[in-house]
Chains A and B, each alone.
Chain A
């Protein structure tokens, strides 16, 4: 996914185990470049976020 703050591509592996840093189960993906807490969509919402185009332009 693309970070909402710095617009860099967050690799998938940083992934959905999410944060873990803040002590609460915040369900966020913290961007490795800037630290911004991106909302981590669940399975269903995640599928909506990632439309069909897969490896077309990466």
Chain B
């Protein structure tokens, strides 16, 4: 038998890191080529294999998470599906995470693809106590299923046998919930051309606003498209709030049905520890106490007591105060006799005093310990669960959950998060999220510095936390009432929890510290030059005098004005100023708490203000700025009165 000119194609598809390349190499041996997919920088491997006297061309696609592409990799993988018309499609999944990967299998069945499911890494899944009944899974899905351990070529014979005897396309897909199914069937009914993914999957992608697919349909249907457009538009509009959520939930439901009888955990109804922990973290009743534990040990004990207490005491109190400062100052003063130059270098607002000392002796230990805790939590996969928890709590009090995303991201960087709020669908959500971001969500490092500062005084941290939560909920609640609009639904795939890896944590911590210092050190230096210029020209005294009534109204000493002026540049700079006052014994616990609350609520930094202007326009940005400043100072004022009357912190 001769090889035909065009050989039948086997295409490998699946998430990244499921062992696709290993399978590819095992199937093809050494006859492979790697080349860029036309017009892209994405590499695609091609090879050949011979099974039962038939030669196949084998393609390994870049990893993809769903049929809706987001990255260029995924776009290429889908393009291969659309253009290359595989004879056989091998969906490779990681047995350990089969529940998260089967939804894509269902999508591919929906798209009528000639599918074989390869359940790889079976050995490690079994070591975790997972028991598979693959014949049952095959029966449930209606497509061939083969279990493999490709690293050891286990299951290769089975796979080759199934490939050589493969019979035709999969059975029709299971229907979704009635209302959703009706829309899909209606839309699919309008599609007359022949689509590589079939009418049904094409209709669903259309509904999910897939631009490329819409263009494809427009081309294929030609004059017929104007008939489809209004139907599509009305379906999209009526389902704008929760289509993706509903589809995800339906696929999850189908996935569970498919795994029914096909997968069991060794010890009956005993979930793995990580899965139980994951559920505890997301359930409001257990999740909130868990969050408080994390905050107590991670932030209060480690960042506060260890970082801001012991480490700062050592660096600032011992190392700088006793050894470095005297030497550095006498060295700097020895450089010149000129008064203004001496002031610039090592004076009250000098480069050394405010720039270097603040950055290295005060901020470094606090931010370092904070980033360490942050990176550990990040590496365990806690953050998406935190988002889920906040979303559930939000929903119970009538707030839209989707606003959670930019807020959680705000812990990374405010400015970016303000930009991400663009992705929120309604104007109402965008404005609420921007206000909340400007108000109560400092970027993670600034949060760390403020928390570290407060941890030194017991009680302050608790009061600060309560006020923040209160303000946060109040504003969210009020704006939800005042600004009309829809309530879109928040949904995200929750990745597995995992043990943090030392290497990951260290690299992430060091990277964060490095970029943080590259960001703040110049800012601190510029700020100290400006402050020095203000002092020399007498302008600073005027500003401080102007602020004195406000500062006094908050019950703070006049010297606190300086810290607020620092805070204009960045909140962490202001917090360092507060720390100075506090160690000099100029602030009582009440005053410290009031100052910290006011500073936190204040617009975080110049960059954030500029971004608000760019994203929301000058008028909205200024309105938010004034609103936030007013709210910050009145909250500080009220808190001061409250603390003085009740005597809680004295």
Task: Mark contacts of B396-424 with chain A using CB atoms, 8 A cut-off: 1 yes-contact digit, 0 otherwise.
Answer: 00000000011011001101100110010
Q: Which of B172-180, B247-255, B342-350, B375-383 interfaces with chain A?
A: B375-383
Bound complex: CA A24 to CA B611 (Å):
10
Q: Is the CB of A7 within 8 A of B607?
A: no
Give chain A nearest CB distance to B153 CB in angstroms.
15
B512 adjacent to chain A (CB < 8 Å): yes
Query: Can you spell out 24 A-B residue pairs with CB atoms less than 8 angstroms apart?
Result: A4-B508, A5-B384, A7-B381, A7-B384, A8-B16, A13-B42, A19-B416, A22-B416, A23-B611, A23-B614, A24-B607, A26-B515, A26-B519, A27-B514, A28-B515, A32-B70, A32-B71, A33-B70, A37-B416, A39-B511, A45-B510, A57-B22, A58-B21, A58-B63
B495 / chain A contacts, CB cutoff of 8 Å: 6-8
B620 adjacent to chain A (CB < 8 Å): no
Pick from A25, A37, A41, A45 the residue with the most CB of B within 10 Å: A37
B267 / chain A contacts, CB cutoff of 8 Å: none
Q: Is the CB of B508 within 8 A of A26?
A: no
Contact partner, B383, options A5, A11, A13, A22, Cβ 8 Å: A5
A4 / chain B contacts, CB cutoff of 8 Å: 378-379, 383, 508
Q: A11-B71, A45-B507 are in contact. List 19 more A-B contacts (CB 8 A).
A: A4-B378, A4-B379, A4-B508, A6-B492, A7-B495, A8-B65, A22-B415, A23-B607, A23-B610, A23-B611, A24-B607, A26-B515, A27-B511, A33-B70, A37-B412, A39-B508, A42-B511, A57-B21, A58-B17
Contact partner, A23, options B16, B41, B415, B518, Cβ 8 Å: B415
B309 adjacent to chain A (CB < 8 Å): no
Give chain B nearest CB distance to A28 CB in angstroms.
7
* B residues in contact (CB < 8 Å) with A: 15-17, 19-22, 41-42, 62-63, 65, 70-73, 378-379, 381, 383-384, 405-406, 408-409, 412-413, 415-416, 419-420, 423, 492-493, 495-496, 503-504, 506-508, 510-512, 514-515, 518-519, 607, 610-611, 614
A5 / chain B contacts, CB cutoff of 8 Å: 378, 383-384, 408-409
Q: Across the two chains, which residue of chain A brings its CB closest to B73?
A: A11
Q: Give the A interface residue count (CB, 8 A).
A: 38
A33 / chain B contacts, CB cutoff of 8 Å: 65, 70-71
Q: Is the CB of A9 within 8 A of B379?
A: no
* A residues in contact (CB < 8 Å) with B: 4-9, 11, 13-14, 19, 21-28, 30, 32-37, 39-42, 45-46, 48-49, 51, 55-58
B507 / chain A contacts, CB cutoff of 8 Å: 41, 45-46, 48-49
Q: Is the CB of A26 within 8 A of B413?
A: yes
Q: Is the CB of B413 within 8 A of A11?
A: no
* Chain B binding surface, main DSSP class: helix
Give chain B nearest CB distance to A51 CB in angstroms.
7
Knowing A9-B16, A9-B63, A58-B17, the reply to whether A22 touches B419 (Cβ < 8 A) is: yes
Q: Across the two chains, which residue of chain B brings its CB closest to A40?
A: B511
Bound complex: CA A30 to CA B63 (Å):
19
Knowing A5-B383, A26-B413, A41-B507, the reply to whether A55 touches B21 (Cβ < 8 A) is: yes
Q: Is the CB of B405 within 8 A of A22?
A: no
A8 / chain B contacts, CB cutoff of 8 Å: 16, 65, 495
Bound complex: CA A33 to CA B416 (Å):
15
Bound complex: CA A32 to CA B420 (Å):
12
A19 / chain B contacts, CB cutoff of 8 Å: 416
Q: Is the CB of A36 within 8 A of B412?
A: yes
Give chain B nearest CB distance to A49 CB in angstroms.
4
B492 / chain A contacts, CB cutoff of 8 Å: 6, 34
Bound complex: CA A19 to CA B419 (Å):
12
Knowing A11-B72, A57-B19, the reply to whether A37 touches B413 (Cβ < 8 A) is: yes
Bound complex: CA A45 to CA B607 (Å):
27
Q: Is the CB of A22 within 8 A of B413?
A: yes
Bound complex: CA A14 to CA B62 (Å):
14
Contact partner, A22, options B63, B65, B381, B611, Cβ 8 Å: B611
Bound complex: CA A20 to CA B510 (Å):
21
Q: Across the two chains, which residue of chain A brings its CB closest to B605?
A: A24
Give chain A nearest CB distance to B120 CB in angstroms.
10
Contact partner, A14, options B71, B416, B611, Cβ 8 Å: B71
Q: Across the two chains, which residue of chain A brings its CB closest to B611?
A: A23
Give chain A nearest CB distance to B258 CB in angstroms.
23
Q: Is the CB of B405 within 8 A of A7?
A: no
Give chain B nearest CB distance to A24 CB in angstroms.
5
B514 / chain A contacts, CB cutoff of 8 Å: 27, 42, 45
Bound complex: CA A37 to CA B493 (Å):
18
